[in-house]
Amino acid sequence: MNYVTLNNGVKMPILGFGVYQISDTAECERVVSEAIQVGYRSIDTAQAYRNEEAVGNAVRKSGLPREEFFLTSKVWISNAGYEKAKASIDKSLRRLQTNYIDLMLIHQPFNDYYGTYRAMEEYYKAGKLKAIGVSNFYPDRFIDIAQFSEIPPMVNQVETHVFNQQKQAQKIMEKYNTQIESWGPFAEGRNDFFTNETLTAIGNQYGKSVAQVALRYLIQRNVVVIPKTVTKERMIQNFDVFDFELTSEDMEKIAQLDLAQSLFFSHTDPEIVEYMTGLSRKA
Would you name the residues annotated as active-site residues? Answer: 49
Q: What are phi and psi of 169, to 5 degrees?
A: -60, -40
